Amino acid sequence: MFRSIEVPAWFLILMLLFAAVTALDRVLMPSVRWYLRRRLERAVERLNQRLAIPIRPFKLARRHDTIMRLRYDPAVARAVLDYAREHNIREDAVAERAERYAREIVPSFSAFTYFGFAIRVARFLSRSLYQVRVGTENADALEGVAEDATVVFVMNHRSNMDYVLVTWLAANRSALAYAVGEWARVWPLQPLIRMLGGYFIRRRHNNPLYRKVLARYVQMATEAGVTQAVFPEGGLSRTGALREPKLGLLSYIIDGFEPGKSRDVVFMPVAINYDRVMEDRALIQANTSGTRNFRFSLKPIYRYLRNLVWQKLTGRVHRYGIAAVSFGEPLRLSSFMEEHQGQAETLGDDLMARISDVMPVVPFPVIAHAMTAGVRSRAALTPAVKARVAYLEARGARMQMPEADLDTVIDAGLNGLALRKMLQVRDGALILTPDGEEIMQFYAQSIAPLLVDFDGDSPD
């Protein structure tokens, strides 16, 4: 019983390693996880004290728990049964498919990543690329929103910079949850977007089972008070103009809303406009060719970072002009449903109209509007732009013009076109290339609805 047993040294080392791993897994790691979890909870408590809209517990729940809650939701269970019967597939196989959809959709939000990393990066990129302007009108309307209401920011979609810009600008209000298309399901974007609270959706996937899983996730998040950001256009504008609204995610929010029972939803219209959209050429090309999808590429990011480093070294930092954000009049879903007797088909049109009404007016679209109207001499361009600015100011448009002299602003816009080889100036005449003509049409469309009745100049 007490005889010595000889074992090889490698076997002893292996057993000690197994014992150490077991001790870590069963004794030490649970304690460490509990300690870190408590520190995170306290950090979130302090963070919520300075946020206008606190981070809801649903957003902080463990990802696995949310997936299981979604997987065993009664509505999803009924969809699993219906799908299995319709397609003559075993119910357990369909249930596994539903769980796979849930794992694909549900994010893994990290407050540290969002507020400690993403906000700083978003602020750096926004300020490096643009002069950021925020309209103050209606921005304080959110202060009157009931604490138990769910706030949904509804925005037009001009550029992929919209995500970055609004994430930073809303940093003192709450953490936003975005729906992100399949274009971003690449490394390293996919895990980063999940940690930022974004959830991936298949925009043109008509599988009823997938739609039900997605709908229930959106409804759960809305009922839990998670602040969200939605693009009702469903994608980037290819023409520069606002696109027709698609209810999409909004329809899921509406379907899950029960007046008098559900948490109220407040839609906050947000209009975004730029002096320059980084993807403008790609968007115009996609509109011309009829392409619907974009392939994500790191080349534009690499090109931008390379140029930024070079500009910093040479002391000639060049930004893309102004990026402006304006807030429209909030819309309470309970009031809207009451006024329309529960019919929400016009909700998208109403929200897009509110966005159009507060579209920020930045310099380059005004220049583009004048040139597309036939103004093609430098001498005539200044009075044409002045006439449009005066007209817009008289209408109460959300003006975001720089303080510099107007001629200086116009020259900067024309120089930008010349650097992109889209414009030549000969003896005061402005000669656009075919690409330049398309670019000017693209930018003019962003403010065209505000100038629909303008008739203050004639082509020269």
Residue owning tokens 């899921």 = 252
Residue owning tokens 């509804």 = 154
Peptide bond into 383 cis (omega under 30): no
Residue owning tokens 């995610």 = 249
What pTM value is reported for the model?
A: 0.85
Report domain extents, the chain.
66-357, 363-451
- Residue 459 has a pLDDT of 47
Q: Do domains 66-357 and 363-451 have the same CATH topology?
A: no
The fold of the 66-357 domain, in CATH, is Glycerol-3-phosphate (1)-acyltransferase (3.40.1130)
- Residue 156 has a pLDDT of 95
DSSP state of 28: I
- Residue 136 has a pLDDT of 65
- Residue 114 has a pLDDT of 86
Does 363-451 carry CATH code 1.10.10?
A: yes
Local structure of 128: helix, strand or coil: helix
Local structure of 368: helix, strand or coil: helix
- Residue 48 has a pLDDT of 65
Q: Are 344 and 154 in contact (CB under 8 A)?
A: no
- Residue 299 has a pLDDT of 63
- Residue 146 has a pLDDT of 66
Q: Hey, what long-range contacts does 57-63 have (CB within 8 A, 24 or more apart)?
A: 57/224, 58/220, 58/221, 58/224, 58/225, 58/226, 59/109, 59/175, 59/177, 59/197, 59/221, 59/224, 59/226, 60/109, 60/111, 63/106, 63/107, 63/108
Binned average pLDDT, 10 residues per bin, the chain of 460 residues: 70 76 66 60 69 82 91 94 93 93 90 84 87 75 72 92 86 82 68 81 82 94 91 90 88 87 90 92 88 59 67 70 91 87 78 94 95 92 94 92 87 90 90 94 95 72
